């Protein structure tokens, strides 16, 4: 009789689990720093990934920001020392991007994606009459790793206009004008306004915030900004500078339980330059995105709408610095490492972020209609491997003799088990046996009540 050896896929499927520990893969919505906030909106920055866990050393130079603004408001012009991938989560916007001899304006809506190269001066308006604008930015700094610096054309409460940093002689020569005129037109009024706001802050003891980064605009001003603005289209998916929309393409996975939209670096030059993929996942209430893992990409996911839960399989204590040091010692001494898998599980609410490292199996269920948006790092040539489902199930590709050696059951039993799931990619989150039992119980209760 053949001896059945332990097989790594058993661990991938989570057959062996330890007790739950603090989840290093989850970033709750309160793990943010508010950079700017006033009555018109806010900008918030998520905690650095590598500060949360050593697992994310490869994410040291990636930051996640959320922009939120009320109807008829404007984020004033600025430029950053970081490349941005901008994704509209909800609302409608007008994005204006400046070039040395031109400017381009774009009408943006939910699902639109666009890259803003480092150093680009841009401004963003909420053009809707009722709905708040929510925008998610993946930022990749180009100067200091993990740190973003903004340079403002205008003065703010905590930061002067970068124009005011130049000497009088430079400014006079650059603008071919007297310094007094330059100061009056570009600098002085802002400085007076800033001093007035500082006085108000001192009197009212309000928090130190960027009071004029997000300002109110009129309907007429919105209409002016909208002139000649372009909208995303199916053709713009291959554009090097125009926005593209995830929803303009057919989902790569779809059935009655959910939809999975994705654009990879191979299909879009803006993403190729940064080796990033972008996806959006809709999981219907009571449904499950089946267990799978990514071969190369580490995916940063935000829960935009709805509630649910994810389960991710990793190694025990892989989030702990002590474990890392032990592993390094074992490698130096040539010792064989013995690791047991660990289930990391967490509930998801709007604003929560979770990270799926490459090679880590994950499944996501929805307790209400769940909408997720993800950025995949190191995405080129990534392969998504499903561990369950009728189609694209990598386990079903194993040769029968290997199945005999690898699993406790026979190859025939393995094949029969794999064929139980008739759905692919998405399925009912309630196991078949539990669903049938629940239906029997409901039928039994109905029959009893029917006697009254």
Evaluate whether 404 touches 410 at the Cβ level (below 8 Å): yes
Q: Over range 133-145, report the average pLDDT.
A: 95
Any idea how long the chain is?
A: 452
- Number of domains comprising the chain: 2
Q: Minimal CA–CA distance to 41: which of 203, 190, 195, 217? A: 217
> Is the domain of 36 the same as that of 145?
yes
36-45, 199-208, 234-243, 341-350: the lowest-pLDDT one: 199-208
> Is the domain of 258 the same as that of 348?
yes
Evaluate whether 263 touches 278 at the Cβ level (below 8 Å): yes
> Is the domain of 260 the same as that of 350?
yes
pLDDT at 1: 43
Cα–Cα distance between 372 and 376 in angstroms, integer?
13
Query: Is residue 386 included in any domain, yes or no?
Result: yes
Query: Is residue 310 included in any domain, yes or no?
Result: yes
Total Cβ atoms within 10 A of residue 393: 18
pLDDT at 188: 63
Strand 102-109 relative to strand 230-231: parallel, antiparallel, unpaired?
parallel
Query: Is residue 115 included in any domain, yes or no?
Result: yes
> Is the domain of 113 the same as that of 70?
yes
State the pTM of this model: 0.82
Residue span of the structural domain in which 71 resides: 26-159+211-231
Query: Is residue 449 included in any domain, yes or no?
Result: no
Query: Is residue 331 included in any domain, yes or no?
Result: no
pLDDT at 435: 54
**pLDDT band of 335, cuts 50, 70, 90:** low
Residue partners of 228: CB distance under 8 A and separation at least 6: 105
40: CATH: 2.60.120.10
Structure tokens at 99: 């070039």
**pLDDT band of 444, cuts 50, 70, 90:** very low
Query: Is residue 176 included in any domain, yes or no?
Result: no
Cα–Cα distance between 273 and 268 in angstroms, integer?
9
pLDDT at 306: 97
290-304, 306-320, 402-416: the lowest-pLDDT one: 306-320
Evaluate whether 372 touches 284 at the Cβ level (below 8 Å): no
Q: Which residue has the tokens 């130079």?
A: 61
Query: Is residue 423 included in any domain, yes or no?
Result: yes
Q: Answer yes or no: is pLDDT of 429 > 60.
A: yes
> Is the domain of 153 the same as that of 264?
no
> Is the domain of 258 the same as that of 144?
no
Evaluate whether 289 touches 425 at the Cβ level (below 8 Å): yes
> Is the domain of 150 the same as that of 268?
no
End-to-end C-alpha distance for the chain, whole angstroms: 61
Q: Over range 230-246, report the average pLDDT.
A: 84
């Amino acid at each position: 009789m053949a001896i059945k050896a332990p097989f790594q896929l058993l661990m991938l499927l989570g057959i062996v689990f330890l007790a739950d520990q603090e989840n290093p893969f989850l970033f709750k919505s309160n793990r943010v720093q508010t950079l700017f906030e006033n009555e018109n909106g806010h900008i918030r920055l998520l905690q650095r990934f590598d500060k949360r866990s050593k697992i994310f050393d490869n994410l040291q130079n990636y930051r996640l920001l959320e922009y939120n603004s009320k109807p008829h408001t404007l984020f004033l012009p600025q430029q950053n020392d970081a490349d941005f991938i901008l994704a509209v989560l909800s609302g409608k916007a007008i994005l204006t991007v400046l070039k040395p001899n031109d400017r381009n304006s774009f009408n943006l809506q939910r699902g639109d994606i666009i890259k803003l190269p480092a150093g680009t001066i841009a401004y963003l308006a909420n053009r809707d009459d009722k709905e708040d604008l929510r925008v998610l930015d993946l930022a990749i700094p180009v100067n200091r790793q993990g740190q973003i610096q903004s340079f403002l054309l205008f003065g703010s409460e905590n930061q002067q206009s970068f124009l005011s940093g130049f000497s009088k002689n430079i400014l006079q020569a650059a603008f071919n004008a007297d310094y007094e005129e330059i100061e009056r037109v570009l600098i002085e009024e802002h400085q007076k306004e800033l001093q007035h706001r500082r006085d108000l802050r001192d009197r009212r003891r309000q928090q130190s915030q960027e009071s004029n980064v997000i300002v109110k605009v009129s309907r007429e001003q919105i209409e002016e900004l909208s002139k000649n603005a372009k909208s995303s289209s199916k053709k713009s998916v291959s554009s090097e500078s125009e926005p593209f929309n995830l929803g303009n393409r057919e989902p790569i996975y779809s059935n009655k339980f959910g939809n999975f939209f994705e654009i990879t670096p191979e299909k879009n030059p803006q993403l190729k330059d940064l080796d990033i993929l972008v996806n959006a996942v809709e999981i219907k209430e009571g449904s499950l995105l089946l267990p799978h893992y990514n071969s190369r990409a580490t995916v940063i996911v935000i829960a935009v709408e709805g509630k649910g839960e994810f389960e991710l399989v990793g190694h025990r204590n892989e989030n702990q610095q002590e474990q890392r040091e032990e592993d390094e010692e074992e490698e130096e001494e040539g010792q064989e490492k013995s690791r047991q898998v660990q289930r990391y599980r967490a509930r998801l609410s709007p604003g929560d972020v979770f990270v799926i490292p490459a090679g880590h199996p994950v499944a996501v269920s929805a307790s209400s209609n769940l909408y997720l948006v993800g950025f995949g790092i190191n995405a080129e040539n990534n392969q998504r491997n499903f561990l369950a489902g009728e189609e694209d199930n990598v386990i079903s590709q194993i040769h029968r003799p290997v199945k005999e050696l690898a699993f406790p059951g026979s190859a025939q039993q393995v094949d029969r088990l794999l064929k139980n799931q008739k759905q692919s990619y998405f399925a009912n989150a309630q196991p078949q046996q539990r669903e049938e039992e629940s239906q029997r119980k409901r039928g039994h209760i109905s029959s009893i009540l029917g006697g009254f």
